[in-house]
Structure 1
Amino acid sequence: MNYSILWADDEIDLLTPYIIFLENKGYQVTAVNSGADALDLVNKQKFDVLFLDENMPGMTGLEVLIAIKQIRPNLPVIMITKSEEEELMEDAIGSKIADYLIKPLNPNQLLLSVKRIFDKKRLEDEKTNLSYQQEFRELSMRYQDDLNASEWAEIYKKLTYWELEIDQTENKSMSDVLISQKSEANVHFSKFIENSYESWLQKPNSDTPILSHLMMRKYVFPRLQDKSPLFFILVDNLRYDQWKTLEVFIQDYFQVEDEKTYFSILPTTTAYARNAIFAGMMPMEIQKNYPDKWVFDLGDSEDEEGYNQHEEFYLNEQLKRLKIDGKASYHKIIHQYQGKQLVDNFNKLLTNQLNVVVYNFVDMLSHARTDMAMIKELAPDESAYRSLTASWFQHSPLFDFLKRIAEKKGRVIITTDHGMIRVQNPIKIIGDRSTNTNLRYKQGKNLNWDASNKMMVCRKPEQLFLPKPNVSTSYVFSKEDYMFAYPNNYNQYVNHYRNTFQHGGISLEECIIPVTYLTGK
């Protein structure tokens, strides 16, 4: 491509060798000797970059820069100056220049600066695609190994890294390859969970990952020994890739001290996984110890939050059981005004040893995406869904809350209860009226299904520490990107829910959960 450069310098005649050098490299250079002439030309024709001398008679370089940004805000400007004054550099950078060069100039220095603007994206894309291709075979071969939980977590992190990197490339040429590789990974991971999950619960050993019911005991309560208050923020339904997207904004205010993962229990839903987190118990133990508090996910209810009305009670009971003293607070944020109230009352929280905040927005967003045509249009795939989550976060009271914590050099743990996966393929299932409505797992008395190789069957719930409302209750969990659908109105049902984000089953995205410890900068 033949890029055009406008160069404004009051000593432009002395720069002829540099202009010839750039022209020999294929660039078209237009030279002027004043800021006024540069402004006049920018108004009349299109340029791809502007070289701007800072110290010119009449309008200074900074004055020209401000005027040009008002006319062509996206025109890259490379400021050239003899001065190394820090204040001048800060003014230029604050005016959003693309680069800053100091005389005497070097031809290769100029060329590098131009390439950084014109070819940066192409070179980065080529490097990303090449690097992923080199790692593709290694990752695929690893699936064939006998991996443990921590090794699967590392594979998922690598796949997420490449997903985010490829998502930044212009034509996303490797995207389909990555999607296929993630799908293959989920096939092997689902088999791994099916073969390992019961033994993790019945005969835990050194390879057993931290599960939901042990997460606070392992990652939260040991941090309470520090004198400063600890903020534990659980953003529900937040996948690892979404966390890495939010981390970009958070790292300006916090230092990431420790990032780990844990595994969500099955089913990977709010009712089971989050209750287990706050109670420090598996669901069967919660139901046994607090029968008046446990609510089964049954029938035609779509209100997941109705199953999590007692989290504060469970949290306080766990603190008592573990003999952890100190003031603790619990806040559940469902509506925007509740988040703003929390920010307004921030100083009151500083007297507590532990402040727990549950943010429900991401879960509501995923359900809204299922039922609202507009949200479906806004988030047709993982990339758009991450973008939607990031947009919410940037303008949310949660971000304001985190900024307040950072101002106090506070400590934060951010995590979630489970992830979610975009479902594609249906499994026919038949159940009675008491069968729960979740698309990724079912519990019931008389369940019948097809495609049993795409699901994990549990006929004895007590072996997975799951409660059962009836003696003959079974649980089934869909694997990979499958969802359960009833034969009645089958095609309509499948078309409505295909390509929506769901949770409750077995996949890398649902099971492997980030938990990150941050300290304010």
Structure 2
Amino acid sequence: MTYSILWADDEIDLLTPYILFLENKGYQVTTVNSGADALELVEKQKFDVLFLDENMPGMSGLEVLISIKQIRPNLPVIMITKSEEEELMEDAIGSKIADYLIKPLNPNQLLLSVKRIFDKKRLEEEKTNISYQQEFRALSLQYQDQLSAKEWADIYKKLLYWELEIDKTENKSMAEVLSSQKSEANVHFSKFIENSYENWLQKPDTETPILSHLMMRKYVFPKLKEKSPLFFILVDNLRFDQWKILEGFIQEYFQLEQEETYYSILPTTTAYARNAIFAGMMPLEIQKNYPDKWIFDLGDSEDEEGFNQYEEFYLQEQLKRLRINAKASYHKIIHQYQGKNLVDNFSKLLTNDLNVIVYNFVDMLSHARTDMAMIKELAPDESAYRSLTASWFLHSPLFDLLKRIADKKGRVIITTDHGMIRVQNPIKIVGDRTTNTNLRYKQGKNLNWDNTNKMMVSRKPEQLFLPKPNVSTTYVFSKEDYMFAYPNNYNHYVNHYRNTFQHGGISLEECIIPVVYLTGK
């Protein structure tokens, strides 16, 4: 492909050697002697880049730049000048130039600047693909080893790194290969959880990861020893890859002091994992200690938040039990106006030692995605889902709140209760009317299924510290990207929920989740 360059300079005749150099490299160069001529040509012809001298008679380079951006807002402009004045540089950069070069010019300097514009995406894609191919085999070989929980978290973070890097490339030519490798990783990870999870609970040792019920004790309460207020923000259903997208917006305001992962308990749902976080107990322990507060996940309820009515109570009880003398507030944000009210009353939060804020939007978005055709169109895959999350965050009261915290040099912990996975494949299951409705796990006393290999079965829930509504209650957890489907109206059900994001089962995406500590810059 031949790229066309328009070069505007009142001393263009002196630049002939540079023009010939670029033409020998395969570029087509058109020259003009003034900013007015440049504007006239840009209106009539299509150019791929504009070289613009800043100091020309008549219209200055900056004046031409403003007019050019109105006519061709996406035309890359490389400003060329003899001046090294900082104010001029700032004006040019503020006008969204592609590059800034200072005379005397160097031919290779020009070539590099052009390549940054024309070939940047291609070169980055080639480099990304080669680097990923080099690591592909090493990652695949790791799955065959006996891995610890920490090693699995490291593998997951590496896979997400490459997923995000490949997602930035134009053609995404390695996306399918990476998707297959993630699927293979989930097969091995699911076996790892099935073989390890009960031991983590019954016989914890140094290899046992931090689980939901110990998360605040490990990552939150030790930070209360410092004098400034601590903000603990739980954005439910936030996967690690979504956090990495949000990090790009947050890093302008905060210093990342600590980035860790921990493991969500099973089932990886709001009702179990988030209650465990705030109570500092496993679900069976919560049910035994607070029987009037625990609500069983019955099949006739679709509202997960109905199971999380006592989070503030559990939090205060945990603080008392651990003898932590801290003034704590609790806020749950379900609607936009609640988030705005919290920002408006920000100064009151500064009087607390600990401010706990639960943000429900990502969870609501993921469930809305199941039912709303428009959201399905907007987020058909992980890449689009990340973009949707980013768009929400940029315009959310949560981002406004974080900016206010950063202005006060505040401290923040951001985490979640569980992740989610895009489900693809069905497992037929039969249950009575008391069986819960979640697609990724089922709890019931008369369950029958057709694919044991793709699920983890617990006939003794007490071994996993899970409550039993009935003596014969069984829990089953789907693995990888499988979902449970009833035989009745089977095809319609499967087609309706396939490619939706769900949680409750066993996968890297659901189980391994972020917890980060930030301080305001």
2: CA distance, partners of 1:329 / 1:304: 22
Letter of the structure 2 residue corresponding to residue 414 of structure 1: I
1:481-514 Cα shifts (integer Å, max 9, x gaps):
0011111111111111111110000000000010
Structure 2 unaligned blocks of 5 or more: none
Query: Given the alignment of the two structures, is residue 500 of structure 1 paired with residue 477 of structure 2, yes or no?
Result: no
2: CA distance, partners of 1:468 / 1:33: 83
CA apart distance, 1:33: 1.0
1: CA distance, partners of 2:245 / 2:462: 38
Query: Given the alignment of the two structures, is residue 400 of structure 1 paired with residue 400 of structure 2, yes or no?
Result: yes
1:502-517 to 2 correspondence within 5 Å?
502-517=502-517
Alignment-derived partner of residue 4 in structure 2:
4
Alignment-derived partner of residue 432 in structure 1:
432
2: CA distance, partners of 1:16 / 1:111: 15
CA apart distance, 1:450: 1.0
Alignment-derived partner of residue 487 in structure 1:
487
Letter of the structure 2 residue corresponding to residue 148 of structure 1: S
2: CA distance, partners of 1:489 / 1:54: 69
Alignment-derived partner of residue 333 in structure 2:
333
1:51-79 Cα shifts (integer Å, max 9, x gaps):
11111111111111111111111110000
SS of 2:330's partner is: strand
Identity of aligned residues (%): 89
1: CA distance, partners of 2:492 / 2:70: 52
1:246-299 Cα shifts (integer Å, max 9, x gaps):
111111111111000000000000000000000000000000000000001012
1:203-232 Cα shifts (integer Å, max 9, x gaps):
000000000000000000000111000000
* Moved beyond 2 Å, runs of 4+: none
1: CA distance, partners of 2:6 / 2:499: 48
Alignment-derived partner of residue 309 in structure 1:
309
SS of 2:242's partner is: helix
CA apart distance, 1:326: 2.0
Letter of the structure 1 residue corresponding to residue 331 of structure 2: H
Alignment-derived partner of residue 519 in structure 2:
519
2: CA distance, partners of 1:41 / 1:486: 66
1: CA distance, partners of 2:147 / 2:499: 30
SS of 1:332's partner is: strand
Alignment-derived partner of residue 414 in structure 2:
414
SS of 2:30's partner is: strand
2: CA distance, partners of 1:118 / 1:427: 49
1: CA distance, partners of 2:54 / 2:495: 61
Query: Given the alignment of the two structures, is residue 262 of structure 1 paired with residue 249 of structure 2, yes or no?
Result: no
Alignment-derived partner of residue 195 in structure 2:
195
2: CA distance, partners of 1:323 / 1:276: 18
1:375-414 Cα shifts (integer Å, max 9, x gaps):
1111111111111111000001001110111111110000
1:123-272 to 2 correspondence within 5 Å?
123-272=123-272
Normalising by structure 1, we get a TM-score of 1.00
Structure 1 unaligned blocks of 5 or more: none
Letter of the structure 2 residue corresponding to residue 285 of structure 1: E
SS of 1:190's partner is: helix
Alignment-derived partner of residue 446 in structure 1:
446
1:338-365 Cα shifts (integer Å, max 9, x gaps):
0000000001000100000000000000
1: CA distance, partners of 2:417 / 2:299: 23
2: CA distance, partners of 1:5 / 1:374: 42
2: CA distance, partners of 1:271 / 1:107: 64
1: CA distance, partners of 2:299 / 2:382: 30
1:106-137 Cα shifts (integer Å, max 9, x gaps):
00000000001100010001111111111111
Letter of the structure 1 residue corresponding to residue 411 of structure 2: R
Query: Given the alignment of the two structures, is residue 47 of structure 1 paired with residue 81 of structure 2, yes or no?
Result: no
Alignment-derived partner of residue 80 in structure 2:
80
1:80-103 Cα shifts (integer Å, max 9, x gaps):
111111111000000000000000
Alignment-derived partner of residue 462 in structure 2:
462
2: CA distance, partners of 1:33 / 1:284: 80
1:175-228 Cα shifts (integer Å, max 9, x gaps):
110110000000000000000000000000000000000000000000011100
SS of 2:475's partner is: strand
1:262-301 to 2 correspondence within 5 Å?
262-301=262-301
Alignment-derived partner of residue 15 in structure 1:
15
1: CA distance, partners of 2:130 / 2:322: 51
2: CA distance, partners of 1:516 / 1:306: 28
SS of 1:268's partner is: coil
Alignment-derived partner of residue 356 in structure 2:
356
1:367-386 to 2 correspondence within 5 Å?
367-386=367-386
CA apart distance, 1:104: 0.5
Alignment-derived partner of residue 120 in structure 2:
120
1: CA distance, partners of 2:62 / 2:493: 61
1:123-181 Cα shifts (integer Å, max 9, x gaps):
00111111111111100000000000000000000000111111111111111101100
CA apart distance, 1:420: 0.3
SS of 1:519's partner is: strand
CA apart distance, 1:312: 0.2
Normalising by structure 2, we get a TM-score of 1.00
1: CA distance, partners of 2:2 / 2:492: 53
CA apart distance, 1:3: 0.5
